[in-house]
Amino acid sequence: MSLISAAEADKNSYDVVVVGSGAAGGQTAYTLTMDGVRVLMLEAGRNYVPATETPMLRTNGEAPLRGSGTPEKPFGFWDATIDGGWQVPGEPYTSDSDDPARQFVWWRARMLGGRTNHWGRISLRNGPYDFKPYTRDGLGFDWPIGYEDLAPYYDKVEMLIGVYGSNEGLENTPNSPPGVLLPPPKPRVSDLLIQQRARKLDIPAIAGHRAVMTTVLDHKRLPQLLHPGNPKAQQILAAEGPEGVAARLAWLGRPAPLLAAFAMAWEDDPWSRGGYAYFDPSFDPLGRNALALATARITFAGEHTSVRWQGYMNGAVETGQRAAAEVAALARE
């Protein structure tokens, strides 16, 4: 994808114009482009470069108001929404009812990528009941299509973006075909405790389905599945391994040589074993402070050594800063 100005766009002709670059517009443009169509995408918001603009690696102490929400950033400092929110300046919006129960509030973003920049990555399929609510209980409206019509597209999107989860065969919660979902991360201590208690109540407590890559996507197999009969698209996506992928990301604006690439399945990592922090169920959470203690000249960083932000990026950064200070103190000794 190349970013161009309106003046440059005027010089060329396009087969299709897609208005809006969110999940819907993005998928439309991707699908058409992979089929060889010349697509122009128009976006009302400004460019947004997650690599440089996302303040994810700042701790609470570095954030204004310690990260809490403001009228400009209702979801707090870390929310990636640009030029948007419940209200968008210059774009009046009414929910057409004084009754709070009938009001619909609509979060909007005006930026490249739209709300894909701040969604929670929860990636669920509608189940068969959701398509035919009127037939089932007389409420709402039946969709003109059913689950079976959409299922192949769910398969494709899950494979394309990488969604982890498990197939549990629960009512109205469709399974994905074998090989589509990535393995879910190992449950954390809190998850295990919930599972244990829920089991007694006969309530299934399972991993959610989220668009987070827990293993490296199979770039050799997926192109054939996603773009059967389209050798050009397969060739582009297969991209000759990590070097090919890096070369194709030059449009991000920061070309750099790939110094080294190492791929391993997160699940097989002997240190994390697929979880953020892997603790034996018998581990006493009160002992967490001990994980941050330096031993001789070895210091420890990582979200698992954070008490306040365990499991979060904030914990990783906070403990990295603490460990750096410890190393500096050791160097002065």
Ligand X SMILES: Cc1cc2nc3c(=O)[nH]c(=O)nc-3n(C[C@H](O)[C@H](O)[C@H](O)COP(=O)(O)OP(=O)(O)OC[C@H]3O[C@@H](n4cnc5c(N)ncnc54)[C@H](O)[C@@H]3O)c2cc1C
- Residue from 80, 82, 109, 222 in contact with ligand X (CB under 6 A): 109
Per-residue x/- marks for ligand X, 50-79, CB under 6 A?
-------------------------x----
- For residues 155 and 180, the answer to whether their CB atoms sit within 8 Å is yes
Would you say 110 or 227 has its CB closer to ligand X? 110
Would you say 90 or 257 has its CB closer to ligand X? 90
**138's torsion region: left (phi>0), alpha (psi -120 to 50) or beta?**
left
Which range, of 48-56, 116-124, 218-226, 234-242, touches ligand X by CB under 6 A?
A: 116-124
- Residue from 18, 25, 176, 319 in contact with ligand X (CB under 6 A): 25
Q: Which residues contact 306 (CB under 8 A, 6 or more apart)?
A: 292, 312, 314, 315, 316, 318, 319
- For residues 299 and 326, the answer to whether their CB atoms sit within 8 Å is yes
* 329 near ligand X (CB under 6 A): no
* DSSP-derived secondary structure letter, 185: P
- Residue from 9, 32, 34, 44 in contact with ligand X (CB under 6 A): 44
Would you say 42 or 203 has its CB closer to ligand X? 42
- For residues 222 and 159, the answer to whether their CB atoms sit within 8 Å is yes
CB atoms within 10 A of CB 130: 15
Least Å distance, CB 108 to ligand X, is 6
- For residues 294 and 300, the answer to whether their CB atoms sit within 8 Å is yes
Would you say 62 or 83 has its CB closer to ligand X? 83
Residues that bind ligand X (CB under 6 A): 19-25, 42-45, 75, 107-111, 114-116, 118-122
